[in-house]
Amino acid sequence: TSRKTPSGGSARTIIQQCSRAKVKIKPALDGADAQWAEVGEGMVVYVCFFHGATEDVTHEMANSLMTTKLFRKATGCSVSVLDLPGNVLFIPQDSLLGEPVPKRRVQYKGGCEPWWGAQLLSNLVFTCRELVAGSVKCAKADVKVEQGVYGQKQEIVLNCVEPMTLLLEF
């Protein structure tokens, strides 16, 4: 069964501004420490893909997420994460598909297949990294684009001093 976001798109993102954030990408095992993907100031992007999402949407998402003026500066003007410059941490979050159904339940239907979601996430991160690599400002500031692991239990720590939470659908 195909399903789209209410606005007819094929991906849903929740953006949260962060001062720093990290997601566990490998648990502690056999005496080795856990591994985290960690970023400093910038944004965390929770993302899920709906059935029918294609690579085209990941390009649109990357362009929009990196260049939309999401951040309000103290001066009052707004800048993009590329202009800030800020880091980006993508966290796959299929629970974003959830919608309430009768009997106080939540239904999680209409997501793309996990292997394809992982592929789309990887495309998204790759395209964002290309945009970062094309920015002198970002290179100077050593800006990072990191990601959590698709389909894995991901421990998260988020710190923000200037909170902003935004829903964007594509």
Q: By the criterion CB under 8 A, which residues form the site for a second copy?
A: 6-7, 12, 14, 46, 64, 67-70, 78, 80, 91, 93, 95-96, 98, 100, 104-106, 153-168
Q: In whole angstroms, how close is the CB of 97 to a second copy at the nearest point?
A: 9
Residue 82 or 143 having the CB closest to a second copy: 82
Question: Counting beta carbons within 10 angstroms of the beta carbon of residue 37, is it exposed (0 to 12), middle (13 to 18) or buried (19 or more)?
Answer: buried
Residue 109 to residue 95: CA distance in whole angstroms = 10
Q: In whole angstroms, how close is the CB of 124 to a second copy at the nearest point?
A: 17
Backbone φ and ψ of 142, nearest 5°: 55, 45
Using CA atoms, how far residue 14 sits from 30, 45, 102, 167, in Å, is: 35, 6, 25, 5
Q: In whole angstroms, how close is the CB of 140 to a second copy at the nearest point?
A: 22
What's the DSSP call for residue 46? E
Q: In whole angstroms, how close is the CB of 77 to a second copy at the nearest point?
A: 11
Residue 54 or 95 having the CB closest to a second copy: 95
Antiparallel, parallel or unpaired: β 87-92 and 145-147? parallel
Residue 142 or 168 having the CB closest to a second copy: 168
Residue type, 34: A
Residue 57 or 91 having the CB closest to a second copy: 91
| Residue position matching structure tokens 């500031």 | 141
Residue 1 or 7 having the CB closest to a second copy: 7
Q: In whole angstroms, how close is the CB of 113 to a second copy at the nearest point?
A: 20
